[in-house]
Structure 1
Amino acid sequence: MGAIDIDALSREELEELQTKIDVALAALERRRRLDALADLAKRARELGYTLGEVTGVSKTQPRANRYANPANPDEFWCGRGRKPRWFEQAMAAGWAPEELLI
């Protein structure tokens, strides 16, 4: 990845870059959590249990999130059901769904 001269960017370009960084950081954190969960599930299987049996969590899993809010990386959407307001606002602001993928 090439260096970015942030001093040459406009305020709008800096805000867009910050949003993309926030989304990328949220996606990285989510991948780290999923990796940790996979490691725990593997260890539970090695001991003869399921992860649900060890944690007491139901077998039903929620759908994986596919989209992250560019304005708030703590908000996600799986892509099914009613679109959240932040997703609709991002589309109206010119974001493409592919840009919000995790």
Structure 2
Amino acid sequence: MSKVDLSDYNLSELKGLQAEIEREIKNRQQQEVTKAREQIIAIAQGLGISVEELLTNSGPKSKGNGKKVQARYRNPADNAQTWTGRGRQPKWIAEGLAGGKTLDDFRI
């Protein structure tokens, strides 16, 4: 982008330009938000799910019998902390793996 020479503008004119620029920035931001919203809706429709389901971590609702998935891994330092092996790894799993352990070391 080329540099604009503003030296010939007086203070009033510069303030007017500033106001115009701020309005244009707001308009452009709104246009980008609208475009993003349309893209999100198109993705959800393409998957056959609602936008809410698309934006949640759990994804589409299960059509199964609703049974809870059993935990497959347990934190040896805190038996109350378990993980099913689905979704994002808990911090204690990631730290253990980074420290040289394997998933089998955490298996219940």
Q: TM-score, normalising length from structure 1?
A: 0.46
Structure showing greater relative contact order (alpha-carbon pairs closer than 8 Å, 6 or more residues apart): 1
Q: Which structure has more strand as a fraction of its residues? A: 2
Larger radius of gyration: 2
Q: Which structure has more helix as a fraction of its residues? A: 1
